[in-house]
Structure 1
Amino acid sequence: MAHKAHAHTVQGLTPQEDLGVTLTHEHLFSDGSSFFELDDSDDAEEFANMPLTSHLIDRVILSSCSNRDNINLDNPEIVIAELEDFIQLGGHTIVDVTPEGMGRDPHVLQMISRRSGVPIVMGCGFYCEYSCEPWVLNATIDELMQRMVKDLTEGNDGIRSGIIGEIGINGQERGTLNYVGEMTPMEERSLRAACRASIETGAALSIHQPNRASAVPKILSVLESENMKPEKVILCHMSSIWDFSMHLYALERGYRIGYDNFGMMLKNSRMRYLDDSQRMDWLIEVFKQGYGDQVLVSHDIWCKVQWKHFGGGGYGHFLRTIVPTLLSRGFTDSDINLLLVKNPAALIAY
């Protein structure tokens, strides 16, 4: 009998064919403290410690990492309400790629899943060096790999991860503003460990690339040296790389790419995001060039102003706003099903 693929969720196994509409890069409960930076205003300290309220939203959008409350997704009750919107629009499954050290809490995710009815696939592994716990900095490849394998096979109190990542690649040394290249030595060890954990367990690998086109060939070089199968990899945030030829560079080599910041209009010192119009243009072009089965979409909700509760699009934005627009621009129902159902299932089920 042929092996039947399942997604490994925080509530157990879900058959591949039951995953339905799936978002492959979200955060439901996370701690973004490592992103914090004071803005250059006269009241920066006061602003940093203000609770997020409606009158702060416009300012926070323009300085998204400078308000501590904004960068901590710490309210499961709001998340459950936000997921109800996602469900009502036809959504079903969420992949939460919050890695270890960024506030990941398996028990909270399991509670959110039970109460909302949304299957949640939980990530594992380590983010960029600047966010990692001290022990990670000097850990060996094998030590990092074994930590990921344990998360995937045993879990935390039996709550297992079902995907590796998002594995952070940035190039910035911890505690400094120094960039040492496309990735730090610690980030390279983490990436190699993630590859080996993927090969050992069968779980897919989700990689946070630093929104620099020059980083993509370096990342792929490491993957190829570890004999990773391209179809088991998703390169996240590719819609933040303005050079479309680099999107094709990855696709031509068989890798999956994530256009995973739909609805994001935030600004901070690290990034000025493109808008949904450009993201859709690229998505349509990817389908035209025959790579529709290698692209995945999501919102990467990592701060509170992205929630509907605070004026953002929430987890339902793509279904509510982008799907009708794509259909009006020539996408078919089959294209939408490929994008939101078949592609995610092919990635996360094993």
Structure 2
Amino acid sequence: MIETVLGPVPREALGRVNTNEHVLGDSRVLAKPNREGRWIEGEIRPEILGDLRWSYQALPDNLLLDDVGTAISELALAAESGVGTIVEATSWGMGPRHADLPAVSRAAGLHIVSAYGVYIDRTLDDAWRQKREPEFEALFRAALHDRVPGTEFRAGLLGLMGTSAEITPAEDRALRTACHVAAEAGAAVSVRLEGHAMLGLEVAELMMSEGLPADKILFCNIDKVLDDAYVRDIVDTGAVVEFAFGSEHYFADRFRDATDLARLEFLLDLVHERPRAAITATASVWTKGQLARYGGMGYGHVPRRIAPALARMGLESTRIDDILVHRPAALLDRPEGTR
């Protein structure tokens, strides 16, 4: 069974799954001036979208998803495009609003699986940064077995767990604890890697050392580093890798997202070289600029545009279904005796 914010459902009910989304949250802690050293002022609006694409974190309002009505309408569009389920992965440090998710799920007409976790060190206040293993264990165990704090539902997995280029003591404590708690519960753990640090193998080994099976590890946004050897080495551990489509933004003079074409071609090459690779896909929406109403691709981008493109580029329908339906369901499924 799969734990959703409206209660458990059989894995067959999920449909096509986006494995890493953000519906309501506040990531303004990650705001920084543009490449010319200035801020973009005010609210998101059409005339500044070019500036925003050029320096994506320079508008604080872009990093705030705070309107329930907007969330409902955007997810309803995704449901119309063929999304059956999203994993809401807004962890502490990104301003999660877990208690609002059931109402959004009902109104939008799709399943929401809530993750529960702790993001990268620099987004956390001192209270979170100073928590010890027993405190993390109590929080994670309660989220998986009883309820996410402030709600009446259980988490479907733990995440999005943050790791920085140099994993901090707080990140290490939280990640290790999440892994052994999830292993006992038969649950998965999703992880954020710092792209340029290329620590995927080391993080996978850390997670497995705590007893978590490789097929319950989800490395989100693996497309941040489209390096053949690096990604194939991670895949060879048995861990699941996620491709996030739809964002093609700049963050600094020498740092930008890959294009969707590059992601598509890399994914196809990976499937050719590693036919058994465990892969999922998502839109990884975390900002206003990714929403359809602001000219973004929206939560429905993968089934609406990416899946048909993969089919036109020669990927078999059974493999597409494995990426969008069966692999996410296996990742999220928890044995009855461990719930």
Distance in 1 between the 2:140 and 2:323 partners?
28
Contact 2:93 2:120 in 1 (8 A): no
Q: Which of 168, 174, 190 in structure 2 is aligned with 1:190?
A: 174
Shift of 1:199: 1.3
Q: Does 1:210 align with 2:194?
A: yes
2:337 matched to which residue of 1?
none
Residues 148 and 271 of structure 1: CA distance in aligned 2, closer, same or farther (over 3 Å)? farther
Candidates 288, 313, 316, aligned match of 1:304: 288
1:340 corresponding residue in structure 2: 324
Deviation at 1:248, TM superposition (A): 0.6
Q: 3-state SS of the aligned residue for 1:122?
A: strand
Preserved CA contact (<8 Å) 2:27 2:93 = no
1:86 aligns with 2:78: yes
Q: CA RMSD in A?
A: 1.6
* 1:158 corresponds to: 152
Q: What is the CA–CA distance in structure 2 between the aligned matches of 1:85 and 1:109, rounded to whole Å?
A: 17
User: Which residue of 1 is the match for residue 306 of structure 2?
Assistant: 322
TM score, norm. by length of structure 2: 0.93
Q: Tell me by how many angstroms 1:218 deviates.
A: 2.1
Partners of 2:189 and 2:27 lie apart in 1 by 21
- Identical-pair percentage: 27
Distance 1:335 1:214 in 2: 27
Aligned partners of 2:35, 2:207: CA distance in 1, in Å? 40
The amino acid that maps onto 2:300 is: G
Distance 1:170 1:89 in 2: 34
Could you say which residue in structure 1 is the equivalent of 2:25? 30
Moved over 3 A (4+): 290-293
How far residue 99 of structure 1 moved from its aligned partner, in angstroms, is 0.6
Query: How far off its partner does 1:291 sit?
Result: 3.9
Kindly state the Cα deviation for residue 286 of structure 1 after the two structures are TM-superposed: 2.2
Report the residue type matching 2:2 in the other structure.
Answer: A
Q: Aligned pair count?
A: 331
Which one-letter code corresponds to 2:248 in the other structure? Answer: M
Partner of 1:191: helix, strand, or coil? Answer: helix
Corresponding residue for 2:163? 169
Amino acid paired to 2:46: S
How far does residue 87 in structure 1 lie from its aligned partner after superposition?
1.4
* One-letter code aligned to 2:183: I
Instruction: Give the C-alpha shift of residue 292 in structure 1.
Output: 4.7
Any stretches of 5+ residues in structure 2 without a counterpart?
335-339
1:267 equivalent to 2:261? Answer no
Q: How far has the Cα of 1:225 moved from its partner?
A: 2.1
SS at match of 2:196: coil
1: distance between equivalents of 2:22 and 2:276? 25
1:39 aligned partner, one-letter code? N
| Number of the residue aligned with 2:58 | 66
Structure 1 residue 283 corresponds to structure 2 residue 267? yes
- Per the alignment, residue 113 of structure 2 pairs with 121
Between 234-243 and 220-229, report the one with greater CA deviation: 220-229
* Distance in 1 between residues matched to 2:198 and 2:44, nearest whole Å: 36
Superposition TM-score, scaled by structure 1 size: 0.90
Match of 2:224 in 1: 240
Instruction: Report the Cα offset of residue 231 of structure 1.
Output: 0.5
- Give the whole-Å Cα distance in 2 for the aligned partners of 1:213 and 1:27: 24
- Aligned partners of 2:304, 2:116: CA distance in 1, in Å? 30
Q: CA deviation at 1:133?
A: 2.5
Query: What is the rounded CA distance, in whole Å, between the counterparts of 1:293 and 1:114 in structure 2?
Result: 34
On the 8 A contact 2:283/2:300 being kept in 1, the answer is: no
Give the SS at the match of 2:195. Answer: coil
The answer to whether the 8 Å contact 1:293/1:339 transfers is no
Distance 2:325 2:333 in 1: 12
